[in-house]
């Protein structure tokens, strides 16, 4: 008995066939522009760190990143990962959590 194909598998087969024969009449193309803005601005990260009374080195340890990373976040040269943003969000909403992290 043949296995039932998933929607993704069927879509990939349709796309492959369209690419091979150049017939796109049955295809629907959706373009998506991803513009995720960082959840915390550099200023907000610095202010959160200061509210928590952490220096940059301690904050780096709490966040599980290098000191250079904290400096880059606060200068706007890079942005926290999604995981780091979640921890920043927890610290922002519940500053008392810092006691569990130091």
Per-residue pLDDT band at 80 (split at 50, 70, 90): very high
How confident is the model at residue 69, as a pLDDT? 97
Compute CA distances 93 → 4, 11, 84, whole Å: 46, 42, 14
| Residue 62, CA atoms < 13 Å, CB-side half-sphere | 23
**E strand intervals along the chain:** none
**What is the tens place of the pLDDT at every residue in 35-53?**
566 689 999 999 999 999 9
Structural domains in the chain plus CATH codes: 42-101 (1.10.260.40)
Q: Which position has the higher pLDDT, 78 or 34?
A: 78
Q: What percent of the chain has pLDDT over 70?
A: 91
* Neighbour-count burial for 56-69, b at 16+ CB within 10 Å, e otherwise: bebbbebbebeeeb
């Amino acid at each position: 008995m043949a296995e039932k194909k998933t929607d993704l598998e069927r879509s990939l087969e349709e796309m492959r066939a369209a690419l091979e024969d150049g017939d796109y009449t049955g295809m629907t193309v959706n373009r998506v522009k991803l513009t995720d803005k960082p959840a915390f601005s550099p200023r907000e990260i610095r202010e959160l760190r200061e509210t928590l009374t952490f220096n940059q080195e301690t904050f780096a340890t709490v966040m599980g990143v290098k000191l250079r990373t904290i400096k880059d976040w606060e200068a706007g040269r890079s942005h926290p990962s999604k995981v780091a943003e979640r921890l920043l969000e927890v610290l922002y909403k519940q500053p008392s959590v810092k006691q569990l992290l130091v």
